[in-house]
Structure 1
Amino acid sequence: MSNLSASAPGTGQSRIRAGLEVVLPWLVSRAIMVLLAATIEHVATGDVNYYYGKIDALSNAGLSQTLNEYPTPVVWMLSIPYALGIGRQGGYQIAFIGLMLLLDAFFTFLLWRAAGRRRDAAVTFWLAFIFLIGPLCYLRFDLVPAVLAGVSVLLGRRRPWLTGVLTGVGAAIKLWPALLIAPFAAPRQGRRATLIGFVAAGFGLALISLITGGIQRLVSPLGWQSDRGLQIESIWATPLMVLRLVDTDRWTVTTSRYQAFEVFGPGVGLWLTISTIATVLGLIFMILLYIRGFRHPEPSITVTGLIVLSTIAIMIITNKTLSPQYLVWIGGPMAALLIGRVRDQHGRLTVISRFAVQALVLALLTHLVYPLTYFGLYGDRHGAQFVASTILLLLRNLGLLIFTIALAAAAWRATGQHRIAAAPGDDPAAG
């Protein structure tokens, strides 16, 4: 992989041109996204307003009763735009979106720099991926763990302690990134530093959370997630959402007390059970994958990245809840893996490149589902939007399922090929 401190190709005009090849597309695409957020996709700002309301009431409700569905550090993080917005709702929206834009720009810069200060496929993918998912990227905080995971892949083995720290911070914000410490700690070189960084950051933040919010607040996100029902976008709700096309009265969609649209009716209990079984089986598969990673003499960054992506994808599809912003998690690691890995030594597209194309299609389908046709899934039970939104949801979830199975298979093959070293263009998962 190219070093993050790679020198610029050429000087003067060539350097400016290389920068403009990234800056201009970023500015144009992001301006369109902000415009969409302010106009036809304004409905997606609901969560930002929800964050504001909770943070605004923090002084009265207390930390133990604020945003209990999220880990405690999220409250601190969401307080930053509140301070920048001077406590006003409009200011909060602007500050929140502005911070997400800065994070996006920062990661774009890191990709550009890691690629040798040029417009690499990694940069192109990231620009397109975020644009295709749409303004939602800036209206939720899921971009944070996505970038943390992406930077961790970018760092590779040059700064293992920082990889551990970033993974620990991600776990403190969204819980699921805790699983990523296994693939990141798989390489023997730097394993101890990675684990020390993870423990220092993750457990350090957990300790501070315990001291400031108490034990009940510390574990509240776990209870919140376990008590939820079958969210309409989840893989396991898809059969019922399709059946709802022919019998709208048997299956209804309403907002639960968890601020999510859930499906109710015959078969929900069965699919919840299947989801639980799938989650357990998915966890077992991930553990086996981690063991194979640890047994590998020296897993390459590609191998590590495939395990990371498999973990994220399996977490998404096995869960009984699936929100559109979950797809953002895939983008960071995928972009980082694309640097120098578009084609193998024979000039063929690598498996990473093929997965990247699939991820772009999933991003577009996700945007079409939410927010563009989302009303059809819960509000319009007879019109064309009802049919279109359900078909789009079916296509997205089938694509996500196929993507995950193929990704898991590639990771399994890659961890079984015990090669000591691999050239940047090598594709250990192919075959």
Structure 2
Amino acid sequence: MRQWLVTISTRPAALWAVFLVVHLWLAYVGLTNPTLPWGDVTLQYRPWVERALGGDVVGVSEPWVYPLVALVPMIAAMVLGPELYGVGWFLVVLVTNAVVLAFLLARSGPGARLAPLKVTAAWWWLAFLLLLGPIALGRIDATTVAIAIIALLIAAKRPLVAGVLLAVATWIKVWPAVLIAVVVTVVRQRVKALVGFVASAVALGVLVLIAGSGANTFGFVSQQSSRGLQIEAPVSTPWMWLSLLDPSSSSVAYIRSINTFQVSGPGTELASAVMTPLLVIVSAAVLVLGALVVKSGARPARVLAPLSLAIVVGLLLFNKVGSPQFVLWLAAPVVLGVATSGRHFRVPALLVLGTAALTQIIYPFGYDALLASEPAMLLVLTVRNVLLAVIFVVAVLGLLRLRHGRVLFHPRERQKS
């Protein structure tokens, strides 16, 4: 029986079948559950697209929360018309993720066998999507993560193309910009990666300006910087507990202009002001550590995944915005880690799966309970946020181990030279 399961699990047909089932299930829940997990898609993306098609383009006529290229997949989802916009969005994400799976299952040449570690990475990715829930497909982040996965997988051998892909992803949503910093820090042909990124980013910027965005080209920066502490962010956890213990001093409020819930209380304004500089400092420190690890002689291919994980989880841990879809970002470095290091990346891979499962409990199914500061849901939120901190520490320790010539996340093993 075990041998049969192993044989089936290595067959592409099995992966494609599970891929389709997982995506259909997540779309069904996202479009039909009363909690409206895909509310951003049907209630925000569709009106933005309808406005754009009518000549009033967000990001051009007014500042927008996303870079303007984010409109491309949103407009593509109109393929079945406005009444079936949610289904159209599902098709866009389905095709995007299918490209990722096809890439993982691609053979290196005629007659070549599937790469076992990439097959394992594909199974991990599908499990991650299922555990994260409908939010894994129901946000614009799904497109950027798909691009980031492929970019990281090819970064060592095709840095120029990786730079181009990360530039495109950054013009959809900003977070992949940190990955080009990682690639430039680690890969040997860093100049190619940087040239690919900068040239593509500038070219897209020129197209955005030609579209008439003008002063609103970088409006997404001001839109994000003006935010307070979102309730799911790790930094907000003490105030969320305070809202339960002392509602008169801490509370949760809905901010209509950015469609999110924020926590307020003593010290929240200071914390909000501090988080962005802290995020920059931590990210810089992680990159410096990565550079030192590479300089110590560690193989770049081994450094790329833990360094990517450390800097991406840092974006979640030290961010005043804690949207559940941010957890999706973790898929990119972990898929790379599993595909290149296999069992040596098992610890962070399992921790990220746990983080995904807890995030689905929080959103969409437990969100009302969280807004009401119910103790059980506050505990789930706290554990999830602690897990993010653990993943960050594990990734940093993994980098330190590589610097000292040890195998990633395995205390008794050393790298072979």
User: How far has the Cα of 1:19 moved from its partner?
Assistant: 2.1
Contact 2:149-2:332 at 8 Å conserved across structures: yes
Contact 2:310-2:395 at 8 Å conserved across structures: yes
User: How far has the Cα of 1:175 moved from its partner?
Assistant: 1.6
Report the secondary structure of 1:250's partner residue.
coil
For structure 1, the residue ranges without an aligned partner over 5 or more in a row are 1-13, 344-349, 420-425
Partner of 2:71: 75
Partner of 1:427: 407
Distance 2:269 2:182 in 1: 34
Partner of 1:357: 350
User: How far has the Cα of 1:177 moved from its partner?
Assistant: 1.5
Contact 2:70-2:140 at 8 Å conserved across structures: no
For structure 2, the residue ranges without an aligned partner over 5 or more in a row are 1-6, 108-112, 412-417
Give a deviation string over 1:313-352, Cα, whole Å, max 9, x none: 1111111111000010111221122125223xxxxxx1x1
How high is the TM-score relative to the length of structure 1?
Answer: 0.84
| Cα distance change on mapping 1:109 and 1:334 into 2, 3 Å | same
Q: Are 2:397 and 1:409 aligned? A: yes
Distance 2:226 2:186 in 1: 37
Q: What amino acid is aligned across from residue 218 of structure 2 in structure 1?
A: V
Partner of 2:376: 388
Contact 2:290-2:399 at 8 Å conserved across structures: no
| Cα distance change on mapping 1:17 and 1:155 into 2, 3 Å | closer
User: How far has the Cα of 1:135 moved from its partner?
Assistant: 1.1
Q: Are 2:175 and 1:176 aligned? A: yes
Distance 1:15 1:243 in 2: 50
After superposition, where does 1:135-174 map in structure 2 within 5 Å?
135-174=134-173
Partner of 1:55: 49
Q: What amino acid is aligned across from residue 323 of structure 1 in structure 2?
A: S
User: How far has the Cα of 1:393 moved from its partner?
Assistant: 0.7
Q: Are 2:188 and 1:205 aligned? A: no
Which of the numbers 24, 27, 38 marks the counterpart of 1:31? 24
Which of the numbers 84, 89, 97 marks the counterpart of 1:91? 84
User: How far has the Cα of 1:277 moved from its partner?
Assistant: 4.8
Distance 1:78 1:252 in 2: 34
| Cα distance change on mapping 1:228 and 1:16 into 2, 3 Å | closer
Contact 1:72-1:213 at 8 Å conserved across structures: no
User: How far has the Cα of 1:48 moved from its partner?
Assistant: 0.4
User: How far has the Cα of 1:52 moved from its partner?
Assistant: 0.6
Partner of 2:229: 230
Distance 2:187 2:390 in 1: 32
How high is the TM-score relative to the length of structure 2?
Answer: 0.87
Q: What amino acid is aligned across from residue 364 of structure 1 in structure 2?
A: A
Distance 1:123 1:291 in 2: 29
Contact 2:164-2:197 at 8 Å conserved across structures: yes
Contact 2:185-2:287 at 8 Å conserved across structures: no
User: How far has the Cα of 1:293 moved from its partner?
Assistant: 5.5
Contact 1:126-1:331 at 8 Å conserved across structures: yes
Report the secondary structure of 1:244's partner residue.
helix
Distance 1:339 1:315 in 2: 23
Report the secondary structure of 2:101's partner residue.
helix
Which of the numbers 72, 84, 93 marks the counterpart of 1:100? 93
Give a deviation string over 1:350-389, Cα, whole Å, max 9, x none: 1x111000000000000000001001122x35xxxx2222
Distance 2:93 2:72 in 1: 16
User: How far has the Cα of 1:223 moved from its partner?
Assistant: 0.7
After superposition, where does 1:5-16 map in structure 2 within 5 Å?
none
Partner of 1:116: 114
Distance 1:213 1:164 in 2: 26
Give a deviation string over 1:30-64, Cα, whole Å, max 9, x none: 23222222333651121002011112112353342
Report the secondary structure of 2:244's partner residue.
coil
Distance 1:41 1:108 in 2: 31
Distance 2:250 2:291 in 1: 42
Partner of 1:328: 328
Q: Are 2:357 and 1:377 aligned? A: no
Partner of 1:258: 258
User: How far has the Cα of 1:150 moved from its partner?
Assistant: 1.2
| Cα distance change on mapping 1:362 and 1:302 into 2, 3 Å | same
User: How far has the Cα of 1:229 moved from its partner?
Assistant: 0.7
Report the secondary structure of 1:139's partner residue.
coil
User: How far has the Cα of 1:404 moved from its partner?
Assistant: 1.2
Give a deviation string over 1:56-91, Cα, whole Å, max 9, x none: 112353342366111111123322212x133x1x32
Contact 2:186-2:294 at 8 Å conserved across structures: yes
Report the secondary structure of 2:341's partner residue.
coil
Report the secondary structure of 1:341's partner residue.
helix
User: How far has the Cα of 1:188 moved from its partner?
Assistant: 5.6
Partner of 2:286: 286
Give a deviation string over 1:103-136, Cα, whole Å, max 9, x none: 2222122223368166832121011000100111
User: How far has the Cα of 1:182 moved from its partner?
Assistant: 2.4
Distance 1:127 1:61 in 2: 38
| Cα distance change on mapping 1:157 and 1:277 into 2, 3 Å | closer
Distance 1:154 1:253 in 2: 41
Report the secondary structure of 1:261's partner residue.
strand
Distance 1:373 1:194 in 2: 42
Percent identity, please.
25
Distance 2:89 2:368 in 1: 25
Distance 2:347 2:104 in 1: 19
Contact 1:44-1:139 at 8 Å conserved across structures: yes
User: How far has the Cα of 1:274 moved from its partner?
Assistant: 4.3
Partner of 1:339: 339
Larger displacement relative to structure 2 (403-412 or 320-329): 403-412
Contact 1:316-1:326 at 8 Å conserved across structures: yes
User: How far has the Cα of 1:29 moved from its partner?
Assistant: 2.4
Report the secondary structure of 2:262's partner residue.
strand
Distance 2:233 2:179 in 1: 22
Partner of 1:6: none
Contact 2:162-2:193 at 8 Å conserved across structures: yes
